[in-house]
A and B are shown apart, each in its own frame.
Chain A
Amino acid sequence: MKFGVIIFPGSNCDYDAYRAVKDVLKEEVEFLWHQDTSLNDCDCVILPGGFSYGDYLRTGAIARFSPIMQRVVRFAQEGGLVLGICNGFQILLESGLLPGAMLRNQSLRFVCKYVYIRTDGVDTPYTNLCKKHQVLKIPVAHSDGNYFISEQGLRELKDNNQVVFRYCDPSGRMDPAYNPNGALDNIAGICNKQGNVLGMMPHPERASEDILGSDDGKYIFRSIVNFLKKEKGI
């Protein structure tokens, strides 16, 4: 089993994701360069957080056209696991692998703090070890996490159970006061129809060890390993 972490110019959570896989999961992992056109047989590709291409134009708008993304799109269409965290989520939205778009945070501020998210979708490769509505404590750090989608799009997301994470209070209740960015319907993370592509604003790699303040992010990484072993026999 091998993970790949893509480095775009401006990625800054690449080493955190690398460490979470290598030292916490104890699985094989390698960096992939944005100019590469091969995924080197990785079974799961992580698009890390950061400020790819300085967030110029729109977050993720330029990274989406980097050579490796053409390969990532094909990999995703073939059913490969693609996890986009924060800026990675924004890149997945721009590339059309996930529906919707990000607006500036309602507060117009960069928000960097621990939040609570409720696991609403547990039948995905990323959450299969979570209980329905399990609350995870994971930090966010972003300026553009105000998720937006058309009414029609939101209905489709709900009908297909694509909303995987929602911001909530510590007990799991959805409350606007616990929505850090104004995201529509408290959406913190969504997957595609097939479930193999997940985008989330919170950073599970920053919450994968006790010493960091929470290790709830491990549920997500361990779910991936569990899925690859059980469903794909890897």
Chain B
Amino acid sequence: MPSFHSSENKKKEYFKATVYVRLKDGVLDPQGSTIKRALGNMGYKGIEEVRSGRVFEITMNSNNKEETEKLLDEICKKLLANPVIEKYNFEIR
């Protein structure tokens, strides 16, 4: 009798990832510099630099942590970050 319970039945795990996308060092950040100026105007002293960025929280299921990392890396490269101007990193829980 054929088995209907093959590999699909293998339990997948849920992962929560936080992805950070930021402008590369040296790339002009007009929003960051405007925020820095505003903080100066508000009286905050000692603000040397402000760099803006984006945060994504992604919930996904996959077979294991290595697979999750591989997929996230691909997603970041293809869509979430523009490698010309941005860098990214992520944490997985």
Interface residues of chain A, those whose CB is within 8 Å of chain B, are 57-58, 61, 65, 93-94, 99-101, 103-108, 146, 148-150, 182
| With A57-B79, A61-B79 as contacts: A100 and B31 at CB distance below 8 Å | no
Interface size class of B (residues with CB under 8 A): 10 to 19
Closest to B28 in A: A103
The answer to whether the Cβ of B82 comes within 8 Å of any Cβ in the partner chain is yes
Within 8 A of A (CB), among B16-42: 23, 27-31, 34
Partner of B27, one of A58, A94, A106, A148: A148
The answer to whether the Cβ of B85 comes within 8 Å of any Cβ in the partner chain is yes
The distance from the CB of A146 to the nearest CB of chain B, in whole angstroms, is 7
Partner of A182, one of B28, B34, B82: B28
The distance from the CB of A14 to the nearest CB of chain B, in whole angstroms, is 25
How many A-B contacts at CB < 8 Å in the complex?
38
Q: Are B82 and A106 in contact (CB under 8 A)?
A: no
Jot down 15 A-B pairs with beta carbons below 8 A, ordered by A.
A58-B82, A61-B79, A65-B79, A93-B84, A100-B84, A101-B84, A103-B23, A103-B29, A106-B28, A107-B30, A146-B28, A146-B30, A150-B84, A182-B28, A182-B30
- Majority-rule SS of A interface residues: loop
The distance from the CB of A61 to the nearest CB of chain B, in whole angstroms, is 7
A182 to B31, CA, bound (A): 13
Q: Are B30 and A106 in contact (CB under 8 A)?
A: yes
| With A57-B79, A61-B79 as contacts: A149 and B84 at CB distance below 8 Å | yes
**Given contacts A103-B28, A108-B30, could you give 17 more A-B pairs where the C-beta distance is less than 8 Å?**
A57-B80, A61-B79, A65-B79, A93-B84, A94-B82, A99-B84, A101-B85, A103-B27, A103-B29, A103-B85, A105-B30, A106-B28, A106-B30, A107-B30, A148-B85, A150-B84, A182-B30
The distance from the CB of B20 to the nearest CB of chain A, in whole angstroms, is 14
Within 8 A of A (CB), among B41-93: 79-80, 82, 84-85
The distance from the CB of B16 to the nearest CB of chain A, in whole angstroms, is 20
A94 to B83, CA, bound (A): 10
A65 to B75, CA, bound (A): 13
